[in-house]
Structure 1
Amino acid sequence: MTMESPIPQWYVVIACDATKDRTEHDAKVIVERIRSTDGILNANDKLLVLGILHRVPHPMGYQTLACPESFSGTNFREMEEEVNKKVEAYASVLLPRREDYENAGA
């Protein structure tokens, strides 16, 4: 009896500017380009999206640094709310893509 070694699982990390709003089309194009390039994203790999949020909207309507220590920065609660909004937005765009690929056997 031979033991087959499991296929390695890798994390492919995409870093993006989360300050900008992304559409479903943007996510689809990015994932398709990654998948179409041989050897970058394989069937057992995980795709990790890292969003960098360097500015958050201020209640007065302008953007402030996502840094509570700065004089014009924002507080933790506002940053947490903005991060949660971004997570929900990215999840709503990326999760359907994941389900499409799983259903297609990719």
Structure 2
Amino acid sequence: MTNQSRIKKLNKILIKRNKIIFLLFSFSILLFVTSNFYFVYTEAALVSEIKNLDAKLADLTVKKSSIEIEYTENVEKLESIEDKFALTNLKEVEYLNSTDSEFAFKN
């Protein structure tokens, strides 16, 4: 083999090697860019989901507050009814005591 044929053969090998390196480099850049877009998209989706969850939490907090207010009002109504019932029972007991004493006095 002559030097020129060796040089041509080496040039062909180098060209093939350079093409493979270029393709691998291009593929790695493409992969890097794609993965970055994927992470950005995933981050945006997560941020959106967090905002939705925050809105739901705020809504639930408002509902909880209204339920607590309603509960407090119902407890107050119940206490008022219990007070009225106790007063009514007290009046009945006083009446029965007075009638018992009148009945005992008559006998």
Note whether the superposition's TM-score is higher than 0.5: no
Choose 1 or 2 for highest CA Rg. Answer: 2
TM-score normalised per structure 2:
0.26
Structure with higher strand content: 1
TM-score normalised per structure 1:
0.27
